Amino acid sequence: MTLRVILADDHPLIRAGVRTLLEDDPGLSVVAEAESADQLLAILRETPADLLISDFSMPGGQAADGLALIQRVRRDYPSLPLIVLTMVANVGVHGSIIESGALGLIDKGAGMAEIALAIRAVAQGREYVSATFREGLRQSQFDKANGEAARLSPREAEVLRLFASGLTVSEIAERLSRSIKTVSRQKNDAMLKLGLKHDLDIFVYANEHGLTS
């Protein structure tokens, strides 16, 4: 049986590289491609598929990317296995991606070979995480087991990621379907937890802690 794959990434070169890899396997077929969250959601409504391989950060459009997109896909298509590609290096975000229901998590900088490994694992119902991300996740789980939970909640980290990407609080609220008041509170709570005093500090923190791609 041929595995039908939907591929989503806002970078044409990444899509081309992954598509070439998949086309080398006679058991895989790319049935659709998307370059934004909006386009991906439209394709999912119309195109039957057995696997979704999606970028984590796809800015632009009206639909939210990141964790909100993963959660929406898992809610609307619970039986569709998902592999997430990302350049984001933050272990807290990695943990949230897995907790949101992604079976595969791939470091874009690790090379195409890992995508093939992830597809084989996910097709068998097993989880696959890039080697470059595994140790951080193990350490994070150890810290949580010892009472040292991540300092930011997934929602706070998502708000900081989007703010650092250039969106305003109002734009983040619209994209995440939250009130401006809620997003503003989450932003301020995150800044307080991290000891950040000014908005510029958010950009510095995001770059230093791998929240941006």
The pLDDT tens digits of the residues spanning 90-130 come to 888 888 898 899 999 999 887 778 888 899 899 888 999 99
Q: End-to-end CA distance of the chain, in Å? A: 35
Going from N- to C-terminal start, the domains of the chain cover 3-144, 154-208
Give 33's strand partners. 7
Residue in 128, 123, 212, 113 with CA at minimum distance from that of residue 162: 212
pLDDT tens figures, 122-170: 988 899 999 888 877 776 653 444 343 447 788 888 899 889 888 899 9
**How large is the average pLDDT for residues 185-210?**
85
3-state secondary structure of 10: coil
Model confidence at 213, in pLDDT bands (50, 70, 90)?
Answer: low
**For residue 197, is pLDDT > 90?**
no
- Strand order of the β-sheet with 128-129 is 28-34, 3-8, 51-55, 82-86, 104-107, 128-129
Assigned CATH for 154-208: 1.10.10.10
Q: Which CATH code, of 3.40.50.2300, 3.40.50.300, 3.30.470.30, 3.30.70.3420, is assigned to 3-144?
A: 3.40.50.2300
Please give the structure tokens belonging to residue 20: 């070439």
**For residue 173, is pLDDT > 60?**
yes
pLDDT tens figures, 39-70: 999 999 999 999 999 999 888 778 888 998 99
- Between CA 152 and CA 136 the distance in angstroms is 16
Model confidence at 20, in pLDDT bands (50, 70, 90)?
Answer: very high
